Amino acid sequence: MSGPIILGHWNFWIVLYLWLAGIGAGGFLTAYYIDKKADAPGLLRKASWMGVITLILGSFLLLVDLGNPDRFWHLFVVFRLTSAMWIGSWLIAITAFLMFITALSKSKGAAFLAAVGAALTASYVGVLLTISAIPLWSNTLLLPWLFLASAFTTGAAALSLSKIGSQYSSVLNEVGKIYGILELIILILFVLWSFAATPAAALNMVVGKYIGAFWVGVLILGIAAPIYLEIKSDKINIAATGLMVVFGGLALRYLIVFAGV
């Protein structure tokens, strides 16, 4: 596959794939950072297993959406360096394997390589969409960064909902706040860029068919409300804040996929 990618009709499965992959990759990157700073092997192990499960499950849903899931092995036996799908399939498989090794051992080398793979996995889909033939996706260079920022926020939120994550609630809230502000900045820049490049698609997101997903799902519940609670509230409901961020990540992917198509 070379040149622009022309996509047909996508179902909700692709949204779930993007969401799960982002949670797994972002959660591992967050835990890896915390482990490097504060020695949190238990959190890293939890994030590793979470990454393995979400990447495998998300990949299966992607294959269901594309059709013929029983033929997934074709992606691995045919060498196609020019195929974005081939590269992505190997990237996800290798990253999941490295996370598996990290979960079973204390290998710093495997953890480092898994972190590199997680960063590439989180932004890969954004890169894939930018080389498509869809104007909303292909006319901005910010999509990979938006997916990466959202992976960080949803991954950190998912970790905060776990039992071991509660032991690191303060640091997870702190990095979550930074992630959220970064995601908000990139989202605003993405919308402004979209208005300049594809005004019809941008209007469809902000005031058109997907107005609810943008303002309520992404901007308010997914980003603004959690940031406000983390900054202003003395007592943060970790479960409520985490669920809002995770839901916001799902809403973001729904918005980008279907507003683009």
3-state SS of the chain?
CCCCECCCCCCHHHHHHHHHHHHHHHHHHHHHHHHHHHCCHHHHHHHHHHHHHHHHHHHHHHHHHHCCHHHCCHHHHCCCCCCHHHHHHHHHHHHHHHHHHHHHCCCHHHHHHHHHHHHHHHHHHHHHHHCECCHHHHCCCCHHHHHHHHHHHHHHHHHHCCCHHHHHHHHHHHHHHHHHHHHHHHHHHHHHHHHHHCHHHHHHHHCCCCHHHHHHHHHHHHHHHHHHHHHHCCCCCHHHHHHHHHHHHHHHHHHHHHHHC
Residue ranges of the chain with per-residue pLDDT less than 70: 1-10, 65-85, 233-236, 261
Per the structure, the complete domain to which residue 252 belongs is given by 12-260
pLDDT of residue 223: 96
Kindly report, residue by residue over 129-155, the tens digit of the pLDDT.
887 778 888 888 899 999 999 999 999
Instruction: Dig out the tokens for 182 from the structure.
Output: 């970064």
- What contacts 1, CB < 8 A, 6 or more positions away? 80, 82, 83, 84, 85, 86
Establish if 2 belongs to a structural domain.
no
Size of the chain, expressed as the number of residues it contains: 261
Judge whether 45 lies within some domain: yes
pLDDT at 6: 40
Residue 65 inside a domain? The answer is yes
Predicted local confidence at residue 115, as pLDDT: 97
- Do the Cβ atoms of 137 and 129 come closer than 8 Å? yes
In the block, tokens 């938006």 appear at 146
51 in a domain, yes or no?
Answer: yes
Q: Does residue 157 contact residue 179 with C-beta atoms inside 8 Å?
A: no
pLDDT recorded at residue 104: 96
The Cα 128–Cα 4 span in angstroms is 9
Orientation of helix 84-104 relative to helix 12-38, angle to 10° = 40
Work out how many domains the chain is built from and give that number: 1
* Residue 7 forms part of a structural domain: no
In terms of Cα–Cα distance, which of 65, 63, 62, 29 is closest to 47?
29
Q: What is this structure's pTM?
A: 0.90
Give the residue from 88, 112, 80 showing the smallest Cα distance to 1: 80
pLDDT score, position 129 = 81
**For residue 222, with 0-12 CB atoms within 10 Å meaning exposed, 13-18 middle and 19 or more buried, which class applies?**
buried
Give the amino acid at 95.
T
6 assigned to some structural domain: no
pLDDT, tens only, 59-70:
888 777 666 655
**Whole-Å CA distances, 66 to 69, 85, 135:** 8, 11, 21
Tell whether 1 is covered by a domain.
no
Calculate Rg over the CA atoms of the chain.
Answer: 18
The CATH number for 48's domain is 1.20.1630.10
